[in-house]
């Protein structure tokens, strides 16, 4: 049995199949949201570049409901010793916030952290000699901090509850 919806149009009545009426939940994210999120949180430079292009044109991605908010490098300097880590920190925040919202943070944390480290190393590749070594050492420290402290026990419990629901 096909359900139909009747729309009054002036003195006439128009009957439209329900399938032709837009879904009531127009705010539902596109079905490929998990794939897009994954493609923007890989370790490659192309993944970083795709995410950054989308970040510069967030309106084009509004239907996906991504959380673009960031506090950059949290309580650490955004540009330690003059190394511009701010954008790498923003992508890291993007991964954390969106995987937490999806309830799949624990399954993706290690990769998001690795992508962060690769982003930082790409920043450091722009330097040479002792400056590059200093940058790489700082990058490793930033990565190691998120690797260890980027996931609390409370978040782990909340993540498991979301996945079970």
144 assigned to active site = no
CA–CA separation, 11 and 86 (whole Å): 61
Report the largest interatomic distance among the alpha carbons of the chain, rounded to a whole angstrom: 82
Is residue 44 within 8 Å of residue 51, measured between CB atoms? no
Out of 54, 73, 85, 92, which one is annotated catalytic? 92
Q: Each residue of 102-139: b (16+ CB within 10 Å) or e?
A: bbbbbebbeebbebbbbbbbebbeeeeeeeeebbbebb
All residues at 6 or more sequence positions from 60 whose CB lies less than 8 Å from its CB, including other chains = 54
10 Å CB burial of residue 153 (0-12, 13-18, 19+) is: exposed
Which tokens in the block code for residue 140? 């490793």
- Please identify every residue annotated as catalytic: 92
């Amino acid at each position: 049995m096909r359900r139909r919806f009747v729309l009054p149009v002036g003195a006439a009545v128009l009957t439209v199949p329900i399938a032709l009426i837009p879904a009531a939940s127009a705010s539902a994210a596109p079905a490929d949201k998990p794939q897009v999120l994954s493609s923007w949180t890989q370790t490659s430079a192309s993944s970083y570049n795709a995410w950054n292009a989308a970040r510069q044109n967030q309106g084009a991605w509004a239907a996906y409901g991504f959380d673009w908010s960031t506090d950059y490098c949290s309580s650490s300097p955004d540009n330690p010793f003059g190394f511009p880590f701010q954008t790498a920190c923003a992508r890291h925040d993007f991964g954390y916030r969106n995987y937490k919202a999806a309830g799949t943070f624990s399954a993706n944390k290690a990769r998001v952290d690795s992508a962060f480290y690769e982003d930082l190393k790409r920043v450091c590749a722009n330097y040479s000699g002792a400056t590059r070594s200093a940058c790489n050492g700082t990058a490793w420290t930033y990565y190691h901090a998120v690797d260890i402290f980027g996931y609390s026990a409370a978040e782990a419990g909340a993540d498991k509850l979301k996945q079970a629901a």
